[in-house]
Amino acid sequence: MRDLEKEFLDNKNKEKDIWRLFKILGEFTDVYDELSTLPPAISFFGSARTSKKDKYYKATYKLSKILSQDGYAIITGGGGGIMEAGNKGALISVGLRIKLPKEQKMNSFVKIALKFKYFFIRKVSFLKYSVAFIVMPGGFGTLDELSEALCLVQTKTIGKFPIILFGKEYYEPLEKFFKMMLKHQYINEQDMHSYLITDSIDEAVEYIRHSRFNSNHIELKRIDDEH
Question: Is there a single domain that holds both residue 9 and residue 65?
Answer: no
Question: Is there a single domain that holds both residue 125 and residue 167?
Answer: yes
53-109 confidence digits (pLDDT tens): 999 999 999 999 999 999 999 999 999 999 999 999 999 999 999 887 776 789 999
Question: Is there a single domain that holds both residue 45 and residue 157?
Answer: yes
Total number of domains constituting the chain: 2
Question: Is there a single domain that holds both residue 45 and residue 84?
Answer: yes
Question: Is there a single domain that holds both residue 21 and residue 109?
Answer: no
Q: Which domain holds residue 10?
A: 1-37
Task: Give the whole-angstrom CA distance, residue 64 versus residue 80.
Answer: 15
What is the per-residue pLDDT for 157? 85
Question: Is there a single domain that holds both residue 53 and residue 28?
Answer: no
Altogether, the residues listed in the chain come to a count of 227
CA distances from 125 to 7, 47, 172, 182 (A): 37, 19, 28, 30
Q: Which residues contact 41 (CB under 8 A, 6 or more apart)?
A: 72, 73, 74, 75, 92, 94, 129, 130, 131
What is the per-residue pLDDT for 8? 44
Question: Is there a single domain that holds both residue 31 and residue 85?
Answer: no
Please check whether residue 22 lies inside any domain of the structure. Answer: yes
What is the per-residue pLDDT for 86? 98
Please check whether residue 223 lies inside any domain of the structure. Answer: no
Please check whether residue 225 lies inside any domain of the structure. Answer: no
Question: Is there a single domain that holds both residue 198 and residue 175?
Answer: yes
Alpha helices per DSSP H over the chain: 2-35, 55-69, 82-88, 119-128, 140-154, 168-183, 201-212
Question: Is there a single domain that holds both residue 44 and residue 30?
Answer: no
Please check whether residue 162 lies inside any domain of the structure. Answer: yes
What is the per-residue pLDDT for 226? 47
Question: Is there a single domain that holds both residue 159 and residue 68?
Answer: yes
Please check whether residue 141 lies inside any domain of the structure. Answer: yes
Q: Are 39 and 71 in contact (CB under 8 A)?
A: yes
101-126 confidence digits (pLDDT tens): 776 789 999 999 999 988 889 999 99
Question: Is there a single domain that holds both residue 6 and residue 68?
Answer: no
Please check whether residue 226 lies inside any domain of the structure. Answer: no
Question: Is there a single domain that holds both residue 20 and residue 126?
Answer: no
CATH number at residue 135: 3.40.50.450
